[in-house]
Structure 1
Amino acid sequence: MLIVVVVSLILVLVVGLHWYLWARLVRDTTAAGGWARRAGTAAVVLMPLLTVAGVAAGRAGAPMAVTRALEWPGYLWMAVALYLFLALLASELVRPWLMRRGRRTSGEAPAEPAPAEPAVEGAAREEAAPEVSRRLVVARGIALTAGVVAAGTVGYGAYQAWRPPRVLRVTVPLAKLPRAGHGFRIAVVSDIHLSSLAGREHCKRIVDVVNSTQADLIAIVGDLVDGDVPDLASAAAPLAGLRARQGKYFVTGNHEYFSGARQWIDHVRELGITPLVNERVALGAFDLAGVNDLRGEASGEGPDFGRALGGRDAGRAVVLMAHQPVVVHDAVEHGVDLQLSGHTHGGQLWPGPYVAELANPTVAGLERYGDTQLYVTRGAGAWGPPVRVGAPSDVTVIELASLQA
């Protein structure tokens, strides 16, 4: 029942948004019955349908070429529609002023003797014509400005999404970390989202950035892929070139379960990456643990904190890899010193960070919850629109600091 309510709400919002776009971009700027209005109406109807078709094709396992052909225009439209809506919404504040300014600059017609009744009717029609013209000019000017703003924002955001992720460096002191672990560096990468849109070159760019950090350990904290191994094995191949002295580790994200997490757990192992499936390993100075994503609960493969963290030496520091920040409360209960997460994309598309805050304790960066510190990376890729605005991608190097050093 809840799913039906949520889907219905989303449908109402999408339809309402596109009706508003049609009203301001098509109805207000074109003549009724003309070819321009028919073409604009068709475009406003077709583009969201392409978005739905792209998502459906990806979930249904359609051929990659078909999925790609639907996803490129469909996903880009999601971003364009968002910024068209925001630009037009902002324009509502100035639209009345532009209309009043138009009346002032056009001046008033000189006073004339009162004409007979038929003449009054004709004069009214003549007086209405300039008003209609002003409305049309203002509507078209605002529509053009909104289009330029949206196109520019999405173009910049696409550049941000496809450029190599920036490297962030964060020092995290751990009370239980011995002096021998001081300066240990973990490269945290998440949300690569290999797919029909983000392929081998995208993966290679990220691998090159991660390797450039020369970290001691690499932690891939979920949402590596959107698709099946047969379709994306070539795209994922550069991951075999990741280099770290103390190992490369992986935990599942929610997107792995859309296509079948087990196949990717097996495949990353073939690429020389160790999956942590509700388990931990003892490194020299601390324990490293990993739990499955919450999405796995639907198939009986969810996170098991007792299995991953139970029975260990409580005097040793433990770092937990967990895709979703929301499980930090479980981490606190199990005495985790540092949790590494992704999932949020930092909001990806402004004002997305404000929405992400509603569902995540931390959207990006380092925060403390009791004795547990949580670090959330913005991720190295993008899901849906291949666009990032106000949330640049990153690979974060966490440098552990011992209080005994």
Structure 2
Amino acid sequence: MIRWIIFIAIFGVIDFYAFQAFKTVTKNSWLHIAYWLVTALVIGNFVYHYYGFNRSDGFSHSHAFAFGFFIAVLVPKMLLLIVMLGEDVFRVPQAIYRYFTEGDNARGNYFASRRKFISQVALGLAAIPFSAILYGIYKGKYNFKVLKYTLHFEDLPEAFDGFKLTQISDVHSGSFDNVEKVAYAIDLINEQQSDVIFFTGDMVNNKAEEMLPYVDIFSKLKAKEGKYSVLGNHDYGDYIKWDSTELKAQNLNDLKSIQKKIGFDLLLNENRFIEKQGERIAVVGVENWGKGGFKKAGDLKKASSKVNEDDFKILLSHDPSHWEAEVVGDNYHYHLTLSGHTHGMQFGIEIPGWFKWSPVKWRYKQWAGIYEKLGQYINVNRGFGYLAFPGRVGIWPEITVITLKRGSNNA
């Protein structure tokens, strides 16, 4: 209870300052009422859904939208707070000066009126994140992007020169609310006509049943050299409360069965070989391995036990923290690692080829796109779906297409 009182008090301060800009720009009392009515509805809905909330009880669509709309009003108001406080940096000293120099002549009103221009600028700035967040909730989460890369390897088997792979990650099917948009994305994947499709974990939020409405859709994925997958941290059902360990185990078995029904070859610390014209590449798949309290079920040594040191290797590992922690320094040379997990935080700014930023960079060194170290590459997919916040802002859902080429990049 105390933390909710503190929360409401803090939001009250933010709202007080935000409203200063609003009422300076317009004196229309109906708009003032509308401002407070929208605020009350959003905050009330948020408190209703999260008072006493326990993550282990599950996370519904209504929880997601309550959180999303709360963020949509909080971020712009925080921006208004910053601008209004900035104006007070000048107004407060002026008020103090008037208090001591004008005394009763100021009739107790020592503060200079807020400047309408400053409030207009503040509202204009606040409209940018407000619009972006609303767009992210209604459109951005299904704004699928196909990102294409070409990677060169001098030891790539000749038969695989030009070999094309598609990677998707972090489906989080329990978050979806539009079957047609998901079907569109599957068609987009098939349009790439890749040789192989890799899925790098987190098919569901918590329960295998979340995937049931999408089994037929995902079963349409096509790749002539196969479809391979690994588990992500959410696939184990660790984040909700189960009535028994048997039900939790059954849930994981159900998810494995669903992946098989879709056509994925699920690699549980295992490997497979793709062969062409007498040559081969190794596909190594580990279970989830992550730093910072995440499950460490991945066993790289076990997964590659049947792989030769000189094989060309593609590693599927859900969490990119695994790459620098164990993969790069391993005696085996893993040419390409495919990961996901970060979602790019579903929020950031990207200008393709020029600039890329998200707050998640402070948590993960490799958080989106291609990285290289010691002649080894990792691609961190931004995710196919979304989790918690029901949208994406600036970091769009991703379908990665990577073409492998034999030889040097300078050739």
User: TM range, normalised to the smaller chain?
Assistant: 0.7 to 0.9
Partner of 1:270: 261
Q: 1:165–1:50: structure 2 CA closer, same or farther, 3 Å change rule?
A: farther
3-state SS of the aligned residue for 1:294? Answer: coil
Q: Does the Cα contact within 8 Å between 2:171 and 2:386 map onto a contact in 1?
A: yes
Counterpart of 1:367, as a letter, is Y
| Secondary structure, aligned partner of 2:283 | strand
Structure 2 residue 393 is matched with structure 1 residue 389: yes
- After TM superposition, give the deviation of residue 300 of structure 1 in Å: 8.0
Q: For the Cα contact (< 8 Å) 2:233–2:288, is it kept in 1?
A: yes
Cα 1:142–1:155 change in 2 (3 A) is same
Structure 1 residue runs of 5 or longer lacking an equivalent are 1-7, 104-113, 115-119
Within the candidate set 310, 315, 318, 2:305 is matched to 310
State the partner residue of 2:109. 128
Measure, in 2, the Cα distance between the counterparts of 1:13 and 1:278: 47
Q: For residue 347 of structure 1, what is the aligned residue in structure 2?
A: 345
Count of aligned pairs between the two proteins:
369
Call closer, same or farther: CA 1:366–1:237 in 2, change over 3 Å.
Answer: same
Task: Pick the structure with greater CA Rg.
Answer: 1
CA 144–397 in structure 1, closer or farther in 2 if over 3 Å, else same:
same
Whether the 8 Å contact between 2:314 and 2:338 is mirrored in structure 1 is yes
Moved more, 221-230 or 185-194: 221-230
Asked if the contact 2:173–2:210 (Cα under 8 Å) also holds between the matched residues in 1, the reply is: no
Contact kept in structure 2, 1:177 and 1:316, CA below 8 Å: no
* Cα distance in 1 between the residues matched to 2:178 and 2:80: 32
Alignment TM-score, normalising by the size of structure 1:
0.76
Identical positions, percent? 23
| Cα shift at 1:217 | 0.5
Q: 2:374 aligns with which of 358, 370, 374?
A: 370
Matches for 1:4-403 after TM superposition, within 5 Å: 18-26=11-19, 42-43=40-41, 45-50=43-48, 52=50, 56=54, 59-61=56-58, 67-86=60-79, 88-89=81-82, 92-93=85-86, 121=104, 123-125=105-107, 128=109, 131=111, 134-135=113-114, 141=120, 144-145=123-124, 148-158=127-137, 161-258=140-237, 260-284=251-275, 285-294=280-289, 302-329=297-324, 330-332=326-328, 333=330, 334-350=332-348, 353-403=357-407
The answer (yes or no) to whether the contact 2:233–2:294 under 8 Å persists in 1 is: no
CA displacement, residues 198-241 of structure 1 (integer Å, 9 cap, x when unaligned): 45334312211111111111111112221423343013431111
Q: Which runs of 5+ in 2 are unaligned?
A: 24-31, 96-101, 241-250, 350-355
In the aligned structure 2, how far is the partner of 1:326 from the partner of 1:216? 27
Corresponding letter in the other structure for 1:89: I
Amino acid at match of 1:246: E
Aligned equivalents of 2:337 and 2:181: distance in 1? Answer: 27
- Between the aligned partners of 1:299 and 1:128, the Cα distance in structure 2 is 57
**Would the aligned equivalents of 2:137 and 2:391 in 1 still touch at CA under 8 Å?**
yes
Structure 2 Cα separation of the partners of residues 38 and 84 of structure 1: 13
Taking a change above 3 Å as real, the CA distance of residues 356 and 297 of structure 1, as seen in their structure-2 partners, is closer
What's the CA shift for 1:358?
Answer: 2.3
Q: Distance in 2 between matches of 1:155 and 1:307?
A: 46
- Distance in 2 (CA, whole Å) between partners of 1:289 and 1:283 is 11
Note the alpha carbon deviations across 1:244-276, whole angstroms, 9 max, x for none: 101111111122223654432221112211111
The TM-score, its normalising length taken from structure 2, stands at 0.75
Give the whole-Å Cα distance in 2 for the aligned partners of 1:388 and 1:47: 21
Taking the aligned partners of 1:17 and 1:262, their CA distance within structure 2 comes to 45
Conserved? CA contact 1:350–1:389, under 8 Å: yes
Partners of 2:255 and 2:302 in 1: CA distance: 21
**Distance in 1 (alpha carbons) for counterparts of 2:52 and 2:231:** 24
Q: Flag the 1:199–1:14 CA change in 2: closer, same or farther, 3 A.
A: farther
Answer whether contact 2:14 2:77 (CA < 8 A) is retained: yes
Displacement of 1:159: 5.1
